[in-house]
Amino acid sequence: MNLTQEEILNSGHRLQAAPVDSWRIYDEDNPIPGYFEFDWLSSRHPDLYHRFALSTVGLIEKLHMLIDLTNCVVLDIGAGTGRSAMGAAEKAKRVFAVDYYEAVVFFGKSQLQQTHTKNVDYINGNRDHLPLPENSVDVVINAWAELNPEEAYRTLKPNGHLIQLGAIPNALCGELTSQLALDFPWLPKDCAPSEVFEPGYPDVYCTADNSIWNGIPITGPINVQQFTYVADYKDYSEAASLTGRLYGPRAKHYFMTRKQSTFSWRLQIILGQIRK
Ligand SMILES: C[S@@+](CC[C@H](N)C(=O)[O-])C[C@H]1O[C@@H](n2cnc3c(N)ncnc32)[C@H](O)[C@@H]1O
């Protein structure tokens, strides 16, 4: 089931998130919300996304090794339940967390309260019309979310950094990618080799000399860091129920039969400095 942003809004999913944990009682043979339906997830089941999204924790841990966010004003576009924003806020002076759906913004704000995080401002807004003035932030981060590069560029100060966080292109569903290729025909055919998901598989670092990236001017090389991160869920039934709900029965079966609580990802951070 593919729902457009407009359909989700029109069908009323912005009204209220479903009760916490209600996704657990749904039929996993009919896995909706499903993977790549992040708008549905954020607006309807933010608690499901939040429990699932441990890969973002790995991305932010690694990001802190690549760039010092101390004293930076950071804008997190498509902030979701706040894993990326709150992770950045551990170092940054201030973080603006922008997301389109009221339910996920509400959920994110409650996370801020629970964790006593004071330096994050959640804003209900659209990546295509960011609710921030031009030249107002030092760093834009974009974790597992779509980007409007022109808008990101507008809000960045001269020489600010644009950072994209997610999976390497042929491992969008982590170690499940090749398993799920049968179910999701849009997944890449050339899935990443299984050894890259082994814990301790070496990082790859490279640079690309571009003057334009995502259609916007940049200075110096783009830095790309790829690494393996092993997310650890509470137990294997938690891993099975989360992934079953998101990806369907094949994923659930994978974790149940292996009694495996870990989920390995090959992740990627792309970092560029804009030219203005
Ligand atoms: C996959 S989630 C990523 C959440 C978070 N950055 C993380 O890594 O855990 C993508 C987010 O983008 C948000 N989103 C979708 N359309 C958007 C838009 N037009 N403007 C801002 N956010 C949007 C969704 O609501 C969702 O929360």
| Beta-bridge partner residues of 124 | 99
Q: Is the pLDDT of residue 3 over 90?
A: no
Three-class SS of residue 148? coil
Distance 82 CA to ligand 1 centre (A): 10
Distance 258 CA to ligand 1 centre (A): 31
Distance 226 CA to ligand 1 centre (A): 22
Length of the chain: 276
Q: How far apart are the first and last CA of the chain?
A: 41
Distance 38 CA to ligand 1 centre (A): 7
Pocket of ligand 1 (CB under 6 A): 5, 38-39, 42, 53, 56, 78-80, 83-84, 98-101, 104, 126-128, 143-145
The whole-number pLDDT of residue 35 equals: 60
Query: Which residues 6+ apart lie within 8 Å of 10 measured at CB?
Result: none
Backbone phi, then psi, for 202, in 5-degree steps? -65, 150
186 pLDDT band (50/70/90 cuts)?
Answer: confident
Q: Long-range pairs for 126-132 at CB < 8 Å and ≥24 separation? A: 126/98, 126/100, 127/77, 127/78, 127/98, 127/100, 127/151, 127/152, 130/75, 130/77, 130/98, 130/154, 130/155, 131/98, 132/75, 132/96, 132/98
If you search the block for the tokens 């790309």, which residue do you land on? Answer: 224
Inter-residue contact 248 to 183 (CB < 8 Å)? yes
In angstroms, rounded to a whole number, what is the distance separating the alpha carbons of residues 251 and 89? Answer: 33
Residue 146 Cα: closest atom of ligand 1: 12
Q: Is the pLDDT of residue 27 over 70?
A: no
Q: Compute the mean pLDDT over every residue in the chain, rounded to the nearest whole number.
A: 91
Mean pLDDT value across residues 42-60: 93
Q: Is the pLDDT of residue 149 over 80?
A: yes
* Per-residue model confidence as pLDDT tens digits over 239-262: 999 998 888 889 999 999 999 999
If you search the block for the tokens 């000399």, which residue do you land on? Answer: 209
Q: What domains are there in the chain, each with its CATH number?
A: 33-170+202-232+266-274 (3.40.50.150)
Distance 42 CA to ligand 1 centre (A): 7
Residue owning the nearest CA to atom 13 of ligand 1 = 78
Distance 80 CA to ligand 1 centre (A): 5
Inter-residue contact 201 to 188 (CB < 8 Å)? no
In angstroms, rounded to a whole number, what is the distance separating the alpha carbons of residues 76 and 85? Answer: 6
The whole-number pLDDT of residue 77 equals: 98
Which residue has better confidence, 195 or 182? 195
The whole-number pLDDT of residue 9 equals: 66
Mean pLDDT value across residues 232-239: 95
Residue owning the nearest CA to atom 10 of ligand 1 = 145
220 pLDDT band (50/70/90 cuts)?
Answer: confident
Residue owning the nearest CA to atom 9 of ligand 1 = 83
Residue 104 Cα: closest atom of ligand 1: 27
Residue 5 Cα: closest atom of ligand 1: 16
2 pLDDT band (50/70/90 cuts)?
Answer: low
Residue 46 Cα: closest atom of ligand 1: 27
Residue 50 Cα: closest atom of ligand 1: 9
Residue 101 Cα: closest atom of ligand 1: 25
In angstroms, rounded to a whole number, what is the distance separating the alpha carbons of residues 243 and 223? Answer: 31
Which residue has better confidence, 102 or 92? 92
Distance 2 CA to ligand 1 centre (A): 16
